[in-house]
Amino acid sequence: MKNQSSNIKSSIYWRGLSLLFCFLVTLSANAMIPEWWKEVHHYNEATDWHEYYTYTTSYFGPNAIPVPEILDGRIPKTHKEEVSTDFFWGFGDQTQSLSTRLTYTLIPGRFAVSGFGVLAEHYKTTMEVRDQRASMEKDGEETLLIGDFCISTLLRLFQEKKYCPDVVLEIALKTASSETPRSARYIDSPGYYFDFTTGKSLYFKHSYINELRLVGMIGFLSYQLQNSQQNDAPLFGGKMVLSSDKWSLENGIAGYSGWLGQGDCPLVLRSKLNMKSGSWTYFFQYQHALRDYPFRRIQVGVNFDF
């Protein structure tokens, strides 16, 4: 009987301690929520603050869940390091960010791994956009270091021949490296996407333009929501590339369509000019939003082959 009584007391003790711990955690989390935010959003203490956010491209920063870039359907034969600066504007959000991408070719033309993401970001939003996104950054302005990073693998499935296009499989994992969901800039949850990119080229001899390449992409994108669900979206796009010895010009369209129906079906147009100089390639890209991506973007960067 003594052992049974002792076990009951021990059980009650640990349950009480667990309840106290949960209460203190909840109290601490609520204390971190600004009073002005509670008033603006009529905060209910019984509701998790995550539920006030809409986890889609229209309600977070431009680098949170962007439409992936379309590759050209070929795996490089050299390693590549890219650094770029992005300028987003319009729709009540002004954002500048510094990004990087490293592609390491393990088997030239056949298999490569790539890592890419945002190194730093500065933004300023209007108060209207701040409240629309339920951001807890009172001034609507902040500088952030280290955004989301992705790791991807590139595998060539088919090589271009007379009647066969290049086909490359890309599998990318989005890490939860950023910790800024409270300011509605990044989604602090993992995700992934995979896609098949196919490309076929037409070559011209004795012409100013050496190559016309048509590229198509289809895939699938998914990211974790805060309520133990995930948003799944078919991924699609295509572009046309004109190339010469010193430059290339790309024009394309890309997007994905989620199931939430709240700003998670972004569609964008992209135009990119690349200027080649030895191992260096300088590029300028303009991106225009057509749907569910309230940002216009200018990207300037450099790519180095080594």
- Predicted confidence at residue 192, as pLDDT, reads 96
| 35-52: pLDDT as tens digits | 999 999 999 888 888 889
Question: How is residue 65 written in tokens?
Answer: 């869940």
- Secondary-structure percent of the chain, ordered helix, strand, coil, rounded to 5: 15, 50, 35
- Every domain of the chain and the residues it spans: 55-305
Domain 55-305 = CATH 2.60.120.40:
no
- Predicted confidence at residue 249, as pLDDT, reads 98
The CA distance from 115 to 92, in Å, is: 30
Q: Residue by residue, what is the 3-state secondary structure of 108-169?
A: CCCEEEEEEEEEEEEEEECHHHHHHCCCCCCCCEEEEECCCEEEEEEEEEECCCCCCCEEEE
CA distances from 301 to 124, 146, 284 (A): 22, 18, 7
- Predicted confidence at residue 142, as pLDDT, reads 93
- Predicted confidence at residue 18, as pLDDT, reads 45
- Predicted confidence at residue 6, as pLDDT, reads 52
Question: How is residue 190 written in tokens?
Answer: 């993992």
- Predicted confidence at residue 82, as pLDDT, reads 98
- Predicted confidence at residue 24, as pLDDT, reads 37
Q: Where are the beta strands (DSSP E) in 140-264?
A: 141-145, 149-158, 166-174, 191-203, 211-224, 230-243, 247-256
The CA distance from 158 to 214, in Å, is: 16
- Predicted confidence at residue 4, as pLDDT, reads 52
- Of 32, 31, 54, 33, nearest to 42 by C-alpha is 33
The CA distance from 141 to 148, in Å, is: 19
Distance of CA 240 to the CA centre of its chain: 23
- Predicted confidence at residue 25, as pLDDT, reads 40
Cβ atoms of 274 and 285 within 8 Å: the answer is: no
- Predicted confidence at residue 226, as pLDDT, reads 77
Residues (pLDDT < 70) of the chain are: 1-31, 179-180
- Of 230, 296, 298, 286, nearest to 266 by C-alpha is 296
Cβ atoms of 300 and 273 within 8 Å: the answer is: no
The pTM assigned to this predicted structure is: 0.85
- Predicted confidence at residue 32, as pLDDT, reads 80
Question: How is residue 209 written in tokens?
Answer: 């333009």
- Predicted confidence at residue 14, as pLDDT, reads 47
